[in-house]
Amino acid sequence: MKPREIIPDVHYVGAPDFDRRLFDALIPLPDGTSYNSYLVRGRDKTALIDAVEPMKLDVLKAYLAEVPKVDFLISHHTEQDHSGGIPWVLARFPGVQVLSSEPAKSMLVDHLGLDAAAIRSVADGERLDLGGKTLRFIYTPWVHWPETMSTYLEEDKVLFSCDWFGSHIAQTGLFVDSAASIMAEAKRYYAEIMMPFRLIVQKNLDKIKDLEIRLIAPSHGPIHRDPQSIIRAYRDWADDMPHNTVVLPWVSMHGSTALMVERLVGALTARGIKVQPFNMATADIGQLAMTLVDAATLVVAAPTVHVGPHPMVFNAVILANALRPKVRFASIMGSYGWAGKMVDIVKAAMPNLRVELLPPVICKGLPRPADLEAVDKLADAIAAKHKELGLL
Ligand code: FEO
């Protein structure tokens, strides 16, 4: 199998994975994914960028079958979907030198059992001349692990970005068909692994702002021919200002909480606020994560199970706390049968969210007119807060 040309002397040697449906045993992959690897050939030396997921190593092996020599293996990120094939590359091309960031060196030893002597750490900003192809290494921590770096190919203005700017899509084409088509997938990916490091994403964006970039070649999903579109989207997602949106994970056992959710959705809509409810009995948590990227307010709505919130909604609270979105306000709605500590339990489960808690609405059994009026008041409170932020 011949490496696929992207531009002269830069080839794709990665693997789509059409069948994978879960990443990290957690993240839904409705459209599969890909593990991208790239071969950059200079007059004198050849570099391989990343080494695919072990399950797809056969694809990399086939692409490299007729490649006589690889001098450098650039390891952007130690997570195994990019580094898993490195031991095979070391065996296939004796003498190949692994280049990584300084923090990655010990991680490659720990995670893959590599011999430290095979790894040379490169400095942030260091250049490597392959002979008419100059690679510049740029430390880009926390997109997605602390050791992650990117590589800029100076002559061709290609940014090999690893996880950031990537998307979980399996396709046979190498390039993004249109910027609009990629944004939902890229946002889903940002939400799931980069949102917790939003402030560092801003710093990484600042770091590349003066680079002239013609192509962004990430380690998952297609290559961007319109780099500024995805960079602008990242700026918006990482920005401190949320959108005029309420995210509403909920579940209902016997219909009481559902009545409150229906009332709140109507009341918020009437006040000009976009609301995205997620019935957690069936929701795609990737969609929930995407909505958390922009939302100004989080309202969780659940019936009481024993004394606490229904576990499916509680999972959404745990996820939001882990992803640390930029939400500014939160509230809680729900009903209970005979007793409950739902509000205390939910509040205690989201210490990472720097939110102002708006008055919860909790009722006993079926909501009565006064309870539904309290839901309207909650909508008023949310609208007032969104106005204060200039969102309404
Ligand atoms: Fe694609 Fe963080 O690994």
Cα 308 from Cα 343, distance rounded (Å): 8
Ligand 1 centre from 81 Cα, in Å? Answer: 6
Nearest CA to ligand 1 atom 1: 163
CB 13 within 8 A of CB 40: no
User: What is d(CA 179, CA 201) in angstroms, rounded to the nearest whole number?
Assistant: 20
20 lines ligand 1 (CB under 6 A): no
Please report the atom of ligand 1 found closest to the CA of residue 163.
1
Rounded distance from Cα 23 to ligand 1 centre (Å)? 9
Q: Among the atoms of ligand 1, which is closest to the Cα of residue 144?
A: 2
Alpha helices in the chain (DSSP H): 57-64, 80-83, 86-92, 102-112, 179-189, 198-207, 227-238, 256-270, 285-294, 311-323, 342-348, 369-388
Half-sphere exposure of residue 327: CA atoms within 13 angstroms, side-chain side: 33
Q: Residue 351 phi/psi, 5° resolution?
A: -65, -25
Nearest CA to ligand 1 atom 2: 144
CA 113 to centroid of ligand 1, rounded, Å: 19
In ligand 1, the atom with minimum distance to the C-alpha of 35 is 1
Q: Which of helix, strand or coil describes residue 363?
A: strand
Each residue's pLDDT, cut to its tens digit, for the chain (392 residues) gives: 999 999 999 999 999 999 999 887 778 899 999 999 999 999 999 999 999 999 999 999 999 999 999 999 999 999 999 999 999 999 999 999 999 999 999 999 999 999 999 999 999 999 999 999 999 999 999 999 999 999 999 999 999 999 999 999 999 999 998 888 799 999 999 999 999 999 999 999 999 999 999 999 999 999 999 999 999 999 999 999 999 999 999 999 999 999 999 999 999 999 999 999 999 999 999 999 999 999 999 999 999 998 899 999 999 999 999 999 999 999 999 999 988 899 999 999 999 999 999 999 999 999 999 999 999 999 999 999 999 999 99
CB neighbour list of residue 323: distance below 8 Å, 6 or more residues apart: 191, 192, 195, 196, 289, 292
- Is the CB of 82 inside a 6 Å radius of any atom of ligand 1? yes
Q: Quote the ligand 1 centre to 14 CA distance (angstroms).
A: 14
What six digits make up the tokens of 220? 């998952």
What per-residue confidence (pLDDT) applies to 319? Answer: 96
CB of 224 closer than 6 angstroms to any ligand 1 atom: no
With a 6 Å cutoff on the Cβ, whether 34 touches ligand 1 is no
Residue 327 CB: number of other CB atoms within 10 A?
Answer: 23
Amino acid of residue 327? V
What tokens appear for 288 in the block?
């929930």
Please, what sign has the CA dihedral across residues 115, 120, 122, 123?
positive
CA 135 to each of CA 75, 157, 358: distance values in angstroms, whole numbers, following the listed order: 13, 10, 51
Contact (CB, 8 A) for 265 and 248: yes
CB 52 within 8 A of CB 82: yes
Q: How many angstroms does the Cα of residue 89 sit away from the middle of ligand 1?
A: 19
User: What is the DSSP secondary structure assignment for residue 356, as one 8-state letter?
Assistant: E
C-alpha torsion 325→204→47→37, nearest 10? 20
CA dihedral 128, 130, 131, 132 (to 10 degrees): -70
Q: How far apart are CA 203 and CA 200, in angstroms?
A: 5
Nearest-atom number in ligand 1 for the CA of 193 is 2
Q: Name the closest-CA residue to atom 3, ligand 1.
A: 79
The whole-number pLDDT of residue 194 equals 95
Å from CA of 213 to ligand 1 middle: 22
Distance of CA 51 from the midpoint of ligand 1 (Å): 12
Q: Which atom of ligand 1 is nearest to the CA of 166?
A: 1
Query: How confident is the model at residue 178, as a pLDDT?
Result: 82
CA–centroid distance, 294 to ligand 1, in Å, is 23
Query: Residues 247, 34, 4, CA angle at the centre, nearest 5°?
Result: 140
pLDDT (0 to 100) of residue 277: 98
168 lines ligand 1 (CB under 6 A): no
**Could you tell me if the CB of 144 is within 6 A of ligand 1?**
yes
SS3 202: helix
CB distance 371 to ligand 1 below 6 Å: no
User: What does pTM read for this prediction?
Assistant: 0.94
User: What atom in ligand 1 is closest to the CA of residue 220?
Assistant: 1
